[in-house]
Amino acid sequence: MNLEGRKIIVNKSSKELSELLKTPENYKDFMPDGLQKFETRDNGFKFGLQGMPEIALKIDEVTDQKAILKSASSSLDFSLTATLNPINENQTEVQMLFEGKFNPFIKMMVEKPLQNFINTLTDKIEAYK
């Protein structure tokens, strides 16, 4: 299952964004309003949203071109990638991409909430100062 967020322009350099995305604590600023739990870990974070199970993510790779988060649970196989495409020294085009391997039943249950989550992440990153 693949999902895409809309492409946005962020008024930060790709280097500034990649530095921001290397630190687990910074992801709290991008979470949806229904956030009920947020815990940082050495290489990632765990969060809980109202009406959804808790999700643990590890920061797998961060460069000036992308930030990849992967599921920290062996029972779920997915990744969330933020592509960082520099426009100039002060602006970067960002797009969230989700890729997951789910059975058809799980896919049917999670597709809409995941798309909403990606849309909210995109909105929060776009509004980030």
What does the pLDDT read at residue 129? 72
CA distances from 30 to 2, 21, 89, 103, 104 (A): 21, 11, 23, 28, 29
Contacts of 8 (CB under 8 A, 6+ apart): 93, 94, 95, 122, 125, 126
Distance CA 42, CA 47 (A): 14
Bridge partners for 66 per DSSP = 83
Contact 111, 1 (CB under 8 A): yes
What is the predicted pLDDT for the residue at 35? Answer: 92
Q: What is the pLDDT of residue 75?
A: 82
All structural domains of the chain:
1-125 (3.30.530.20)
Question: For the segment 2-24, what is each residue's pLDDT rounded down to a tens digit?
Answer: 999 999 999 999 999 999 999 99
List pLDDT tens digits, range 42-58: 899 999 988 778 899 99
- Other CB atoms closer than 10 Å to residue 58's CB: what's the count? 17
pLDDT of residue 110: 87
User: Which has the closest alpha carbon to 72: 61, 88, 89, 59?
Assistant: 59
pLDDT band at 73 (very low <50, low <70, confident <90, very high): confident
Average pLDDT over every residue of 82-103: 96
